[in-house]
Amino acid sequence: MKSTQQLPQSKHFRLQQLAEGVYAALHIEGGGAFGNAGIVDLGDRTLIYDTFFTPQAAEDLRNAAEVLTDRPIDSVINSHFHNDHVWGNQVFSTNTQIISTKKTYRLFTATKGLGGYDDSFMLNAESDLEVTLTQFQTTEDEDERRQLSLLVDYWQGVVAAKPILQVRTPNLTFSNHIEFHGTDRSADLIEFEGGHTESDTVLFLPDEKIVLMGDLLCNKHHPWLIEGTPEGFHYALESVSELAPKQLVPGHGPVGTAESISVMRQYIRTLEGIAHKLVEDGEEEKAIDLLAVPDLYQDWLFASFFHDNMHSLYQRQLRKHGKDVDLEE
């Protein structure tokens, strides 16, 4: 196994070798990766799992994979349609297949490849970066600075990508399941619906018990629960748990273990419980904005997601109780 010192270096991400020919590419603070990706050498072909946030980070990812495997990239997998996982697609050769589920492809094209954002998102990127930088530079609260630092990375990534971005859509789609068989290993690409988004995929390496999870798993980061359902999340996480994984590459955060799945599921249950109690007690939705992040999750990044998630779960609880829902909130 190659040592860390021998692995290709990038200012955008850090490579972590998980097994011979299997690498996690993990976002470095200040870089343009923003999330995580993976490199899998099948022996006679190379797979890339997710392509980062910026084309600049993706170029380093492609180059690193070519150095490590001594061949061009055969296939790129988009775990879902959000921009921080697909904007790097453009740097790969036209001979490289871009693979996604059919639903992800439809979501991808419906949002012009912007990951669910409208055109104003790009138009206002510079001003949003300026506002975030000002907040970061003026606050003295260390916890808030940690959160804002990641947002600075995000908006800097948008601004850096904006002049060169040429969104490349997947050109090979599937539903449910694909198996890859190489000379050194096999890999299973599995679709789960209604978890993080309408459609997400995980890449399972059965011999090594490694799973690349995309945003169906976040480690020490608040997940985004708005576009799927708690039931979909639980089903996906339980299904992956049944694979008896040893190492899991999350969409955001450090490489995890099977315990990371339990932590993620408990997070979702905790927030569901809070939302249920608020509705049962007759609390108005505005009470959510005064809630503190539960102690177990106070040091997690993406802290703003907590209140977004709570609003979404509160609305779901209202619907379950047959109460009126303000759809514009």
**Residue among 227, 197, 214, 199 at smallest CA distance from 308:** 227
Spelled out in words, what is the top-level CATH class assigned to the domain 4-116+165-320? alpha beta
User: What pLDDT, on the 0 to 100 scale, is given for residue 324?
Assistant: 56
Provide the pLDDT confidence category of residue 329 given band limits of 50, 70 and 90: very low
pTM, two decimal places? 0.94
| Annotated domain spans of the chain | 4-116+165-320, 119-161
Percent of the chain with pLDDT over 90: 94
User: What pLDDT, on the 0 to 100 scale, is given for residue 119?
Assistant: 85
Planar angle of CA 208, 210, 213, nearest 5 degrees: 165
SS3 per residue for the chain? CCCHHHCCCCCCEEEEEEECCEEEEEECCCCCCCCCEEEEECCCCEEEECCCCCHHHHHHHHHHHHHHHCCCCCEEECCCCCHHHHHHHHHCCCCCEEEEEHHHHHHHHHCCCCCCCCHHHHHCHHHHHHHHHHHHHHCCCHHHHHHHHHHHHHHHHHHHHCCCCCCCCCCEEECCEEEEECCCCEEEEEEEECCCCCEEEEEEECCCCEEEEEEEEECCECCCCCCCCHHHHHHHHHHHHCCCCCEEEEEECCCECHHHHHHHHHHHHHHHHHHHHHHHCCCCHHHHHHCCCCHHHCCCECCHHHHHHHHHHHHHHHHHCCCCCCCCC
User: What pLDDT, on the 0 to 100 scale, is given for residue 323?
Assistant: 64
| Per-residue pLDDT tens over the stretch 318-327 | 998 776 555 4
Planar angle of CA 113, 118, 123, nearest 5 degrees: 105
User: What pLDDT, on the 0 to 100 scale, is given for residue 122?
Assistant: 93
Asked if residue 46 lies in contact with residue 27, where contact means CB atoms within 8 angstroms, the answer is: no
What value does the mean pLDDT of the chain take?
A: 95
| Per-residue pLDDT tens over the stretch 77-98 | 999 999 999 999 999 999 999 9
User: What pLDDT, on the 0 to 100 scale, is given for residue 22?
Assistant: 98
Q: Which residue has the higher pLDDT, 281 or 1?
A: 281
Segment 268-291 shows an average pLDDT of 97
| CA pair distance 232, 254, nearest whole angstrom | 23
User: What pLDDT, on the 0 to 100 scale, is given for residue 326?
Assistant: 52
Read off φ and ψ for residue 13, nearest 5 degrees.
-155, 165
User: What pLDDT, on the 0 to 100 scale, is given for residue 4?
Assistant: 46
| CA pair distance 88, 127, nearest whole angstrom | 23
| Per-residue pLDDT tens over the stretch 14-59 | 999 999 999 999 999 999 999 999 999 999 999 999 999 999 999 9
| Per-residue pLDDT tens over the stretch 173-225 | 999 999 999 999 999 999 999 999 999 999 999 999 999 999 999 999 999 99
Query: What are 124's two structure tokens?
Result: 């206002």
Provide the pLDDT confidence category of residue 304 given band limits of 50, 70 and 90: very high
Provide the pLDDT confidence category of residue 6 given band limits of 50, 70 and 90: confident
Beta-strand pair 172-174/97-101: parallel
User: What pLDDT, on the 0 to 100 scale, is given for residue 3?
Assistant: 47
